[in-house]
Amino acid sequence: MLKKITVAALAPATLLLASPNSLAASNAELEAQIRQMQAVIEQMQRQMQEKNALEQEFIKEQRVSTTSRQYQSGTGTQAGSVKASDQQVSIKLGGFANLVTAYDGGNGMNNPDSFIVSQIPIKKGDGKYYISDGQTYTGSGDQFHIGANQSRFSVEALTPSPFGTLKMFLEGDFHGGGNSFRLRHAYGQTGAWTLGQTWSTFDNLSANPATVDWQGAPGVLALRQPLIRYNHSFAEHWDASLALEDNSYASELDDISNDDDVAESINFDRPDLHLMLKNSGDWGNIQGNYVYTSFKGKPAFGTTANYKSKRIDGYGAKLSGVINITQHTALQLSAAYVDGASHYIADLSGSGNTLAIDDDGNVDTVTAEAYSVAIAQQWNDHLRSTFAYSMVDVDNGGYYYDKNDAGYIPGVSLSRYTESAYYVANIFWDIDEHITTGFEYLYGEREDTDGYDGDSQRVHFMTQYNFN
């Protein structure tokens, strides 16, 4: 710049003293010097731009690879996410740390995490407490438990694909044996397709009462299993789904007669077939479900003629939904009926209430019905509550379950769980977007086919630290 100014100042004198030839030469030299200076400036500008670009790339790499606080900067395509270095994958971490305390007053439960009404201890005529067929329980009484195994961790990723945005979701908790890590969700989703393990098509989570209790209301469903699902949205507020899902109740078949060889061989040769139709709007939603389940097995009971392998079919139907009574009050409803598909009712899943032996020694499917009604109340921006009632009724009467080494014993019936009721009231305090506490009272009743019954109650307190 100094050279430019000096040349400009001397230019008038040069014009007066110089000859025409020398003046032309001076102008040419001046233009050459100006061009040289412009080239130097442009080179410096390019170097500064390259330096800035490298610094920005370094900052982006640090956001992806360092602390969770840097993840919250929101550089990805979804809130609270970051992009990978190739700028194609948006990654978001989620989950919560959850501490739950439970106190059982009087008739203590066998499960400290879940208030499973079908396992309420019942005192029978021999003075012993039973939680299931032939299984005694000596822990009845006041009990206290505290644990954090309901804590969760998740990873969600979004990336472009030839079929639209591809979503991948992984989630686990510590509810496995010995507080070990357990898979909850692992699926991919693009367009109308979902493939992997996630909530069953039979679920309608919006109709399920919110509880601190891990099990939740016994008459609803919150089941995760591997599936292939196609969902189609049509008209303005309608959705329909068709799905094939794993029929994940193999473990139930061996528990039917309290014996390990009830089923000599079972061939799960068909997935469960699901159909779903749902209508949603500002008023709430209503959802209808149907499921068909089937397997082929050779029972290890019955007469010689009944030892042949046969196909056993079952089904389930459910109607559920939410009605928004006011802006802050909602009614949650669910009604289900199953025949040979007990794993689609929460209180019966894994309980061995899928098959039974009738009075002729033949295999028969067990029917059950379940209902749930709840009020969800939002008191203000920070306080919310749930008040719910749920019940399950299982048709276990008239079935025979005992057998000796020779096979089926006619005329001997084993008492089984047949009916339950569940009551819950709670309040949650969302202190801020990351911290929630909750207090809950539970009461349950259970009845067996022999007429004996029992009840239990539990108080919960929860603190949750959410980092979604």
Q: What is the CATH number of the domain that holds 165?
A: 2.40.160.10
CA distance 150 to 343: 22
In this structure, are 56 and 173 located in the same domain? no
Last residue of a domain, one of 65, 84, 111: 65
In this structure, are 284 and 376 located in the same domain? yes
Within-domain flag for 366: yes
Nearest to 289 by CA among 197, 199, 201, 193: 201
Within-domain flag for 87: no
CA distance 340 to 331: 30
Q: What is the pLDDT of residue 141?
A: 77
Last residue of a domain, one of 65, 85, 102: 65
Which two structure tokens, joined as six digits, stand for 277? 């139709």
In this structure, are 59 and 201 located in the same domain? no
In this structure, are 37 and 161 located in the same domain? no
Q: Kind of pairing, strands 417-430 and 453-466? A: unpaired
Q: What is the pLDDT of residue 452?
A: 87
Within-domain flag for 71: no
Within-domain flag for 89: no
Within-domain flag for 72: no
Output phi, psi for 208, to 5 deg: -85, 130
Within-domain flag for 374: yes
In this structure, are 114 and 7 located in the same domain? no
In this structure, are 390 and 333 located in the same domain? yes
In this structure, are 117 and 13 located in the same domain? no
pTM here? Answer: 0.76
- Structural domain of residue 42, as residue ranges? 2-65
In this structure, are 427 and 307 located in the same domain? yes
Residue with the two structure tokens 């108080």:
459
In this structure, are 60 and 101 located in the same domain? no
Burial class (CB in 10 A: 0-12, 13-18, 19+), 314: buried
Contact (Cβ atoms closer than 8 angstroms) between residue 244 and residue 276: no
In this structure, are 236 and 131 located in the same domain? yes
Number of domains in the chain: 2
Q: What is the pLDDT of residue 463?
A: 96
Note down pLDDT in tens along the chain; length 468 residues. Answer: 434 444 444 444 444 445 556 666 677 788 888 888 888 788 777 777 776 665 565 444 444 433 333 333 345 556 666 665 556 888 999 999 999 999 998 787 878 888 988 888 888 888 888 887 667 777 667 889 999 999 999 999 999 888 888 999 999 999 887 889 999 999 999 999 999 999 999 999 999 999 999 989 999 988 899 999 999 999 889 999 999 999 865 444 433 443 333 445 567 788 999 999 999 999 999 999 999 998 876 655 544 444 556 788 899 999 999 999 999 999 999 999 999 888 899 888 766 677 776 656 566 788 999 999 999 999 999 999 999 999 999 987 655 544 444 444 444 445 578 899 999 999 999 999 999 999 999 999 999 888 889 899 999 999 999 987
- Sequence-ordered strand ranges (E) for 246-348: 263-267, 272-281, 284-299, 310-324, 329-339
Within-domain flag for 81: no
Q: What is the pLDDT of residue 221?
A: 85
Q: What is the pLDDT of residue 31?
A: 81
Within-domain flag for 115: yes
Last residue of a domain, one of 65, 81, 116: 65
In this structure, are 101 and 60 located in the same domain? no
In this structure, are 114 and 257 located in the same domain? yes
